[in-house]
Structure 1
């Protein structure tokens, strides 16, 4: 799957550039798009007796007229239902003219139970709620358990944000063209799309050079070139040293999950910085992971003077009864460089003074990676979180720009954003990760990769993908303790992707 994501506006620009350079004009591209959808329908539903094609008045509807014509030519029983005629002189009008089927009105359409419906009403370009009749049909299709194939994007879902403004179609299959859009991956759009097929309709890859997209799909192709690979000359510290701050005696497990994940992701050395009253508890559970007593911010500075780790994890299970903010600021000021992954309590501790964190991070030699879930994001960026006019992608980008950090905005549609404007939406999220402690593991994987000198944005993207991939492979019954042990198989296959190995 291509890694570039295009907004609806960028996709329109790609079409314009492609048409201006040829060899395909707009109607030829529309015929190619319709042919791609028809091929997927015939591949899956070749024995279908009745197919309903819903056509809107714009280009998405034009694709639908092409689909209907091709399915009719293939011997299918097809009915066309239109929400108004296309505007004269448009490519959609040409497609309607060439379709031999007379269109019935959308107002008269009622889907039969389990019927096959091709949704070619509006696609990704709609920026307003569906009209009354289209909204009625979307609800009727859902109530009738109709099998919906969406052209480009289920009508009613925003191509920019993935949100549904009012009613929207729910598809079992979505066929889109050239590149995915953010709305295909951001929830609830991702769930509404069902299976997604990206079809080649003849747009040249060179159009991307002019558009220069900054939003990407989080797949290995995005970060594989910078993925750390061990060499024979390395020793444990040269493979990266991670320090994980532990909570008190009653909350040490989160730090150990992070520490083990950092080690399993390839870091050569991992040390748990533990308060004195938790040393015995941690020592009883740690073998290959080192342990050092660190009771206060002054002890942090002393530890860094002896050996400064390449990456830190602060927050998992740390607790808010200690001055977490002072610990975080001490690390940012005392370390000679590397990465600090701030998670959980480390984020919450700055809820009333987020600017203190951002200022310290921007003046620190350390790179900052934040890993908030929705609630933690709202504590650190309350205005962004409350702005319903922003998509999750825009919120993550805004947070990265403000903080100067790489932001991993977690969820089923995790967004990773960098202060330089790059952003990636994760593709392989799984519900099995909705279990206590999985975020602690993610923080450790991020730190483990960053400690091996993987660039922070790439490390964040790789960690999110690997974390989800491990959970997907395990499936039902997953608990956080399972995740580190699943990493070797994922790592082995990632490294094998590179033909040079």
Structure 2
């Protein structure tokens, strides 16, 4: 099972610092190039290989990979973009390559049966030059990227101009955010993380602030022998009259995720009567919000699923935050504050999708980790930006990327379920950042069991199975 250290993500600058702290650059480059060659040999049959070598350390890794492949009997040539800087580790690796050199041209690339992209790696801070980008567009053979496909930003996953599609990407020591964030994640193809001998102790000096999501970062609550329903927490889901199904989904999820009590707060008498017969174990209250806040001082309030984005919802949020209630805000509660994100201050957790985030804070842009961090710092709330690569940011700047949820979660109602899970975990005492990360991971694990025919209504029933598998 992965440890917290295993889940650390390093920016290109942090990875460069890890290399510096470890020292012995030539040995690390030798290990990296050997790892690339081994990954290729494990997945492809011998063929004509062309290594595109840049002038930096990425190119040096490519020269080493070429040497190891040639020793294994492969037909290998190197096409350099430019010579390495004299005296560098890459220059030493290039000097040990005795095989054929080719001009870096479209014609040379077209003759290859396998292309190794060792041009730039994750640290490229500008778009590829147009002639080079055009040559890479013409790659028809499988492409193996060293670190990342050239043009992909290792810190953000953004493609700077153009980046080629890789069949395989081999990276070293720790993954980077760009390996998990789209479009970089998709452009990497299969991702192999290779151990090249860097000591894990360098992470103590670097203190990474980004992590891939996983159970090593948090622990789901487990009731003990003395646990009772009140000690498992109380979630109050505010229910609107126009879309009560959204609130019901959130409430179902909160119950399945372990909240001891869940109340649907529904001021409409007729709707409340109908909701009471829908689920026997679900509490339904017509009491005013002020009464609920007074009678349930420790409850977690979930506002948004099915609520209209209007002044009434704004007033509700203001009352909750003035009373210092723990709140999870989603959907209509977020849209009600469009253009005025400071109204969200006081919330514990915000769960916007990209459209809601844009209405609140502006477009996420290419550097989504930074913009989500800024939103968390501005509001003082944990911010969970939903998507195929969900980002969770704490006000102190720590970020978690949830990257392996299945695509069939992209269906109506799954965001309501996610908010309900997170609210239940908060009610059971988890800190907001951990609750958000665990909710995103847990929902993804449940969805993987369902398959492509998933409906949001299926998810609450699947939470128990995924929880049991996590516990074994």
Normalised by the length of structure 1, the TM-score is 0.90
Alignment of 1:74-93 (within 5 A): 74-93=72-91
3-state SS of the aligned residue for 1:461?
Answer: helix
The answer to whether the aligner puts 1:291 opposite 2:273 as a matched pair is: no
Distance change (3 Å), C-alpha of 1:319 and 1:16: same
Alignment of 1:16-31 (within 5 A): 16-19=20-23, 25-31=24-30
Look up the match of 1:229: 222
Look up the match of 2:348: 368
Look up the match of 2:260: 268
Look up the match of 1:441: 417
**1:309, distance to aligned residue in structure 2 (A):** 4.5
Aligned partners of 1:239, 1:202: CA distance in 2, in Å? Answer: 45
Look up the match of 1:377: 357
1:101-130: CA deviation from partner (whole Å, max 9, x where unpaired) = 122111254544993211111110111111
Aligned partners of 1:147, 1:344: CA distance in 2, in Å? Answer: 43
Distance change (3 Å), C-alpha of 1:84 and 1:464: same
1:151-181: CA deviation from partner (whole Å, max 9, x where unpaired) = 1111110111111111111112111001111
Q: Pick one of 271, 275, 291 that aligns with 1:302.
A: 291
3-state SS of the aligned residue for 2:52?
Answer: strand
**1:134, distance to aligned residue in structure 2 (A):** 2.4
Q: Pick one of 223, 244, 247 that aligns with 1:252.
A: 244
Look up the match of 2:66: 68
Look up the match of 2:189: 194
The answer to whether the aligner puts 1:343 opposite 2:347 as a matched pair is: no
Aligned partners of 1:392, 1:202: CA distance in 2, in Å? Answer: 31
Look up the match of 2:426: 450
Q: Pick one of 229, 235, 241 that aligns with 1:242.
A: 235
The answer to whether the aligner puts 1:355 opposite 2:342 as a matched pair is: yes
Q: Is the 1:264–1:484 contact (alpha carbons within 8 Å) kept by the matching residues of 2? A: yes
Q: Pick one of 461, 471, 474 that aligns with 2:450.
A: 474
3-state SS of the aligned residue for 2:468?
Answer: helix
Q: Is the 2:55–2:83 contact (alpha carbons within 8 Å) kept by the matching residues of 1? A: yes
Can you give the 5+ residue segments of structure 1 that lack an aligned partner in the other structure? 20-24, 362-366, 497-501
Distance change (3 Å), C-alpha of 1:114 and 1:304: farther
1:342-392: CA deviation from partner (whole Å, max 9, x where unpaired) = 00000111114322332xx1xxxxx5200011111112112xx27x4x601
Q: Is the 1:114–1:147 contact (alpha carbons within 8 Å) kept by the matching residues of 2? A: no
Look up the match of 2:303: 314
Aligned partners of 2:71, 2:253: CA distance in 1, in Å? Answer: 56
3-state SS of the aligned residue for 2:236?
Answer: strand
Normalised by the length of structure 2, the TM-score is 0.95
Q: Which runs of 4+ in 1 moved over 6 A?
A: none
Look up the match of 2:36: 37
Q: Is the 1:259–1:272 contact (alpha carbons within 8 Å) kept by the matching residues of 2? A: yes
1:266-285: CA deviation from partner (whole Å, max 9, x where unpaired) = 11111111122421332232
Distance change (3 Å), C-alpha of 1:114 and 1:480: farther
3-state SS of the aligned residue for 2:412?
Answer: coil
Distance change (3 Å), C-alpha of 1:373 and 1:114: farther
The answer to whether the aligner puts 1:324 opposite 2:300 as a matched pair is: no
Aligned partners of 2:130, 2:435: CA distance in 1, in Å? Answer: 46
Aligned partners of 2:209, 2:334: CA distance in 1, in Å? Answer: 27
**1:288, distance to aligned residue in structure 2 (A):** 1.4
Q: Pick one of 161, 178, 199 that aligns with 1:166.
A: 161
Look up the match of 1:499: none
**1:96, distance to aligned residue in structure 2 (A):** 0.9
1:434-468: CA deviation from partner (whole Å, max 9, x where unpaired) = 10011000000100111110111000000011111
Q: Is the 1:219–1:427 contact (alpha carbons within 8 Å) kept by the matching residues of 2? A: no
Aligned length: 467
**1:87, distance to aligned residue in structure 2 (A):** 1.5
**1:195, distance to aligned residue in structure 2 (A):** 1.4
Look up the match of 1:54: 52
Q: Pick one of 369, 385, 405 that aligns with 1:393.
A: 369
3-state SS of the aligned residue for 1:272?
Answer: strand
Aligned partners of 1:476, 1:307: CA distance in 2, in Å? Answer: 40
3-state SS of the aligned residue for 1:213?
Answer: coil
Can you give the 5+ residue segments of structure 2 that lack an aligned partner in the other structure? none
**1:310, distance to aligned residue in structure 2 (A):** 2.8
Q: Is the 2:48–2:112 contact (alpha carbons within 8 Å) kept by the matching residues of 1? A: no
**1:472, distance to aligned residue in structure 2 (A):** 2.1
Look up the match of 2:459: 483
Q: Pick one of 3, 9, 12 that aligns with 2:7.
A: 3
Q: Is the 1:5–1:213 contact (alpha carbons within 8 Å) kept by the matching residues of 2? A: yes
3-state SS of the aligned residue for 1:134?
Answer: helix
Look up the match of 2:147: 152
Q: Is the 1:430–1:468 contact (alpha carbons within 8 Å) kept by the matching residues of 2? A: yes
Distance change (3 Å), C-alpha of 1:269 and 1:189: same
Aligned partners of 2:100, 2:112: CA distance in 1, in Å? Answer: 24
3-state SS of the aligned residue for 2:197?
Answer: coil
